[in-house]
């Protein structure tokens, strides 16, 4: 296995109208591991994923994917957004949603072939949605919709998987099934990164964890990151941290690493 991280994040800062959302974050997400991103509401968890994908401008720092500039490697990244970011009323079938993952690797003049259709069918089977392939996406339950978007990510056959709250609103049986799929992805060598809200399951299912509250509070083996000291540090004093950094941004007093 290559020692190059799946995702390398260095000194990454993002701000909206001089208000920091992320500040000087450093961490690496390794291949063959599942990493949880955890922290309080407004900590910058989803923003971090969107920054990796190039959806947001960076105030500072950089992101590399598999050792190269992230912008050059986005075809190697599969993304599962939060459910509320998706227009579930769009008239498209389950199979068509999953097939979208295959178009990125095709020339504009070429239609999906037999291999693409087999990949899509296998992805649907992995998440237990093959019997719903012809249904409109709007006809599915929330948990089924989550599984379809996971199938779309699987059909992309990427090196890096970024999932934003993939277990929100689903039952425990579906969650365990999805976690099993993510474990298989990591075992195959992929880097899997999930924004997650249930601290009780992080050390059970995830190899590493990033604890965020605008800044990186802790990063490393999941059980060590979620110590009582780190959790108290991350989940208390949030307004103070935001206001302090916002004021420094306005004054252009940029925080040094030792701060």
pLDDT band, very low/low/confident/very high, at 249 (cuts 50, 70, 90): very low
Number of domains in the chain: 1
Given a cut of 90, is residue 236 above it in pLDDT?
Answer: no
Arithmetic mean of pLDDT, 224-246: 72
At 53-62, the pLDDT tens digits run: 999 999 999 9
Contacts of residue 216, Cβ cutoff 8 Å, sequence gap at least 6: 24, 25, 26, 27, 210
Question: Between β-strands 60-65 and 33-38, what pairing exists: parallel, antiparallel or unpaired?
Answer: unpaired
pLDDT given at position 87 = 80
259 inside domain: no
Contact present, 66 and 6 (Cβ < 8 Å): yes
67 inside domain: yes
212 inside domain: yes
pLDDT > 90: what percent of the chain?
66
pLDDT band, very low/low/confident/very high, at 239 (cuts 50, 70, 90): very low
How does DSSP classify residue 34? Answer: E
Q: What is the pTM of this model?
A: 0.87
Question: Between β-strands 60-65 and 68-69, what pairing exists: parallel, antiparallel or unpaired?
Answer: antiparallel
1 inside domain: no
Given a cut of 50, is residue 256 above it in pLDDT?
Answer: no
pLDDT given at position 106 = 60
17 inside domain: yes
2 inside domain: no
pLDDT given at position 200 = 84
pLDDT band, very low/low/confident/very high, at 251 (cuts 50, 70, 90): low
pLDDT given at position 103 = 80
Comparing 113 with 181, the larger pLDDT belongs to 181
pLDDT given at position 86 = 81
Q: Residue 98 belongs to a domain with what CATH number?
A: 3.40.50.300
Sheet holding 77-80, edge to edge: 77-80, 160-164, 191-195, 33-38, 208-213, 215-221
pLDDT given at position 250 = 52
Contact present, 55 and 10 (Cβ < 8 Å): no
Given a cut of 50, is residue 171 above it in pLDDT?
Answer: yes
Record the tokens describing residue 221, joined without a space.
Answer: 């083996």
Q: Which residue, 28, 70, 71, 23, is CA-closest to 47?
A: 23
Arithmetic mean of pLDDT, 25-40: 97
Given a cut of 80, is residue 23 above it in pLDDT?
Answer: yes
- Please give the mean pLDDT across all residues of the chain: 87
b/e per residue, 92-117, with b = 16+ CB within 10 A? ebbbbbbbebbeeeeeeeeeeeeebe
Q: Which residue, 103, 23, 14, 91, is CA-closest to 54?
A: 14
Give, in order, the Cα–Cα distances in Å from 172 to each of 36, 143, 144, 168.
18, 10, 13, 10
By mean pLDDT, which of 85-89, 107-111, 192-196, 246-250 is the weakest?
246-250
257 inside domain: no
pLDDT > 70: what percent of the chain?
88
Question: With the CA atoms of 148, 212, 50 and 32 taken in that order, what torsion angle do they form, in degrees rounded to the nearest 10?
Answer: -60
Q: Which residue, 206, 203, 204, is CA-closest to 231?
A: 203
Dist CA 33 CA 111 (whole Å):
34
Dist CA 239 CA 214 (whole Å):
10
195 inside domain: yes
By mean pLDDT, which of 48-62, 93-107, 150-164, 210-224 is the weakest?
93-107
Domain that holds residue 162: 7-251
b/e per residue, 177-187, with b = 16+ CB within 10 A? bbbebbeebbe
């Amino acid at each position: 296995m290559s020692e190059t991280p799946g995702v390398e994040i260095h000194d990454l800062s993002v701000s909206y109208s001089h208000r920091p959302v992320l500040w000087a974050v450093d961490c690496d997400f390794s291949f063959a591991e599942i990493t949880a991103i955890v922290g309080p509401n407004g900590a910058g968890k989803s923003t971090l994923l969107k920054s990796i994908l190039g959806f947001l401008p960076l105030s500072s720092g950089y992101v590399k994917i598999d050792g190269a500039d992230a912008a050059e490697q986005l075809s190697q990244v599969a993304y599962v957004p939060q459910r509320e970011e998706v227009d579930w009323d769009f008239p498209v079938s389950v199979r068509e949603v999953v097939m979208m993952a295959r178009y990125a690797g095709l020339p504009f003049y070429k239609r999906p072939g037999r291999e693409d259709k087999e990949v899509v069918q296998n992805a649907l089977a992995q998440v237990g949605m093959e019997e719903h392939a012809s249904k409109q996406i709007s006809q599915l339950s929330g948990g089924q919709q989550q599984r379809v978007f996971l199938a779309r990510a699987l059909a992309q056959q990427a090196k890096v998987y970024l999932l934003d709250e993939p277990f929100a609103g689903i039952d425990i049986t579906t969650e365990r099934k999805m976690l099993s799929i993510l474990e298989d992805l990591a075992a195959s060598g992929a880097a899997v990164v999930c924004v997650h809200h249930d601290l009780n399951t992080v050390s059970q299912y995830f190899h590493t964890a990033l604890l965020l509250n605008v800044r990186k509070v802790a990063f490393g083996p999941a059980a060590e990151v979620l110590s009582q000291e780190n959790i108290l540090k991350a989940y208390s004093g949030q307004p103070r941290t935001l206001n302090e950094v916002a004021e420094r941004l306005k004054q252009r007093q940029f925080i040094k690493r030792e701060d």
